[in-house]
Chains A and B, each alone.
Chain A
Amino acid sequence: MTSVVTLRCEGVRKSFGGVHALGGVSLGFAAPGIAAIVGPNGAGKTTLLDVITGFLRPESGRVTLGGRETTTLSASQIARLGMVRTFQELRVIHHASVLDNVMLGRPSQRGERLLFALSRIGVAKQEALNRAIALGVLEFTGLRGKADEPAGQLSYGQQKLLSLACCLATEARILLLDEPIAGLHPEMAEHILKLLVCLKAQGKLVVFIEHDLGAVREIADDVIVMDEGKVIAEGSPLEVLARPEIMEAFVA
């Protein structure tokens, strides 16, 4: 867990119609660490996350993960390389139990292959193992008591937490979180921030989009400020967020 994995974007461009959502973004991240992406609405933060995770294809530029180019890979291939994401809006499987949601995240499941699904050879054993791991993830995130409830019945904050738990179940090294604490009760927000710090200690790289600059100052090692599809500042939160021109961009 001590090896350094780097995520790089080089000159990434993406436009929708005539709007340049990303106008040549170059960035580098290394695990372990916590990086925050901040910026006004429409700055291109989510678009950047979509491009990095393969949900959108950039027009030019490339993304590399540990030196390997991922720009041409599909979203699911990128996830299997150990880089997973959450979404700004709530995305969990409402009709399935909390535990099932987390188990869905487990990688390379035997029972997901047709012949094993039909023959069930060795599936039960692996299911039991995945179940135990998923329960461990729920324990870590504090959702253990909700394991058997339908995910749709959880509160908003708990569902946000669950989507993080699903990502953790994949054992990905890199987590890209789109506004993980937006709209949450302060207690729940604090709980999630603490978890992110724990994850860094476990060797993971956490990149999160956030509007709450207090949270950014609290846990981020690096902050990236975006505006109109460009990175306008990058560095330690204390230094960057103290610059008057940066604060102006937010007010505008």
Chain B
Amino acid sequence: MDYLLHLIVISCVYVTLAVSLDMLAGHTGILSVCHAAFFALGAYTSTLLAVRLGFAFPLALLAGMLSAAMFSVAVSLPSVRLRDDFFVIATFAFQLIFSSLLNNWTVLTRGPLGIPGIPTPRILGWTVASRGDWVFLAALMATVAFTAARLLTGGPFGRVLRAIREDESFARALGKETNRFKATVFAVSGAIAAAAGSLYGHYVGYIDPTSFSLGESILIVSMVIIGGAGSLWGPALGAVGLVALPELLRLIGFPAVLAANLRQVLYGLLLVIAMVLRPQGLFGKYGFER
């Protein structure tokens, strides 16, 4: 039971990540492979503030989100002008730089040793201690993230995002400052991913760079693509599915060591199958093909 609750918390973290990436990749058509870097930025900023300076969880969380939003603006200034595949490469480079920073800036991050002893969050006198508390907090975060994504990808703002995805010059011809929209979505998406990182760090109580590698970014992209880019519900279910999959493997009798290693192979296989059979994903309406 305890383990099931743990899986629910982790699922909520990934739902938050997948939904935030879907705003960018699915709705705006900008594929980014540096989502784990924003996840890390939230985790490191907030846990360092909590461990070293004793910041309360809500403040640390906000600081993490803010730093991710600021960083995303710094990344997007030179790169939002880039078209599709070049933008992917820019985010790829950012992810690599960030991973190497986490590993090598040991004074701040302690490198591969990681940061242990992250305190249990207290929110207005409520100590988030039991697994049940964590499930509540994580589900709350996922819901807020989902709602924010819904609001931003619907209505007039979402209309411009869809226009950017399908034909950016058409949107510009009608007077839309498309670079501003892209930078805004990138920042909001980064901030939400950072919130997930902040919660994750406080939940696990220990973070190190291996949780925020390029592989992690690709995992989040897989969740979005397999679930169905541009549908929000699809990526959310994709996240739950890919978190549950290795557990199911273990349940049907795969040895734990084998199941863990099979994960990557399976994700890759699923991605290929999705691309061949259903490029728009399980629940998506649009593929990545243009």
A137 CB-CB contact with B under 8 Å: no
Question: Which residues of chain A from 215 to 249 have a CB within 8 Å of any chain B CB?
Answer: none
What interface size band does chain B fall in? 20 to 34
Q: Which residues of the other chain, B, contact A107 by a CB distance below 8 angstroms?
A: 175
Q: Pick the residue among A79, A95, A114 that contacts B184 (CB under 8 A).
A: A114
Give chain B residues whose Cβ lies under 8 Å from the Cβ of A166.
174
A87 touching B174 by the CB < 8 A rule?
no
Q: In B54-103, which residues have CB < 8 Å from any A CB?
A: none
- Asked whether B148 is an interface residue with its Cβ less than 8 Å from the other chain, the reply is yes
CB distance A96 to B159 under 8 Å? yes
How many Å lie between the Cα of A92 and that of B174 in the bound state? Answer: 11
Residue B172, interface by CB 8 Å:
yes
Over the window 137-170 of chain A, the binary record of Cβ atoms lying under 8 Å from chain B Cβ atoms (1 yes, 0 no) is: 0000000000000000000000000000011011
Given A79-B175, A95-B162, A112-B160, decide whether A123 and B170 contact each other with a Cβ distance below 8 A.
no
Q: Are A94 and B166 in contact, CB atoms less than 8 angstroms apart?
A: yes
Report B-chain residues with C-beta under 8 Å of the C-beta of A75: 169, 172-173
The answer for the CA separation of A154 and B155 in the assembled complex, in Å, is: 23
Cβ A111 vs Cβ B157 within 8 A: yes
- Most-contacted residue by chain B among A96, A111, A123, A169 (CB, 10 A): A111
In the assembly, what is the distance between CA of A167 and CA of B174, in Å? 7
* CB-based contact A93/B178 at 8 Å: no
- Is B133 located at the chain interface by the 8 A CB criterion? no
Min CB–CB distance B181 → chain A (angstroms): 8
| A95→B285 contact, CB < 8 A | yes
Q: Classify the secondary structure of B's interface with A.
A: helix
Contact of B155 among A76, A85, A120 (CB under 8 A): A120
* Contacts A75-B172, A79-B174, A93-B167; A104 near B159 (Cβ below 8 A): yes
Counting CB contacts under 8 A, is B286 at the interface? yes
Q: Which A residues lie within 8 Å of B174 (CB)?
A: 79, 84, 104-105, 166-167, 169-170
A53 to B178, CA, bound (A): 16
Interface residues on chain A, number (Cβ under 8 Å): 38
Q: Verify B170–A93 contact, CB threshold 8 A.
A: yes
Does B175 contact A87, Cβ atoms closer than 8 Å? Answer: no
Please tell me which one of the listed residues A86, A91, A112 contacts residue B157 in the complex, with CB atoms under 8 A apart: A112
- With most chain A CB atoms within 10 A of its CB, the pick from B173, B184, B188 is B173
Residues of B within 8 A of A120 (CB): 151, 155
| A38 CB to nearest B CB, Å | 22
Contact partner, A91, options B155, B170, B285, Cβ 8 Å: B170
Are B177 and A76 closer than 8 Å at their CB atoms? Answer: yes
For B173, give its contact among A85, A123, A127 (CB under 8 Å): A85
Distance from B163 Cβ to chain A, minimum over Cβ atoms (Å): 5
How far apart sit A123 and B178, CA to CA, in the bound complex (Å)? 20
Contact B175 A170 (CB under 8 A): yes
Q: For the complex formed, measure the closest distance between the CB of A91 and the CB atoms of chain B, giving whole angstroms.
A: 4
Select which of B152, B166, B169, B175 is within 8 A of A117 by beta carbon.
B152
Asked if residues B178 and A76 are in contact (CB atoms below 8 Å), the reply is yes
B255: Cβ under 8 A from any A Cβ: no
CB distance from B228 to the nearest CB of A (A): 14
Residue B7 CB within 8 A of the other chain? no
Q: Which residues of the other chain, A, contact B177 by a CB distance below 8 angstroms?
A: 74, 76-77
Which residues of chain B come closer than 8 Å to A80, judged between CB atoms? 175
Q: How far is the CA of A243 from the CA of B177 in the complex (A)?
A: 44
A109 within 8 Å of B (CB atoms): yes
Query: Closest residue of chain A to B286, judged by CB?
Result: A95
In the complex, 9 of the A-B residue pairs with CB atoms within 8 angstroms, ordered by the A residue number, are A76-B171, A77-B177, A91-B167, A93-B166, A94-B166, A96-B159, A104-B171, A107-B175, A112-B181
Q: Pick the 8 closest A-B CB pairs, nearest first.
A: A111-B156, A79-B175, A117-B157, A80-B175, A91-B170, A109-B156, A75-B172, A111-B155
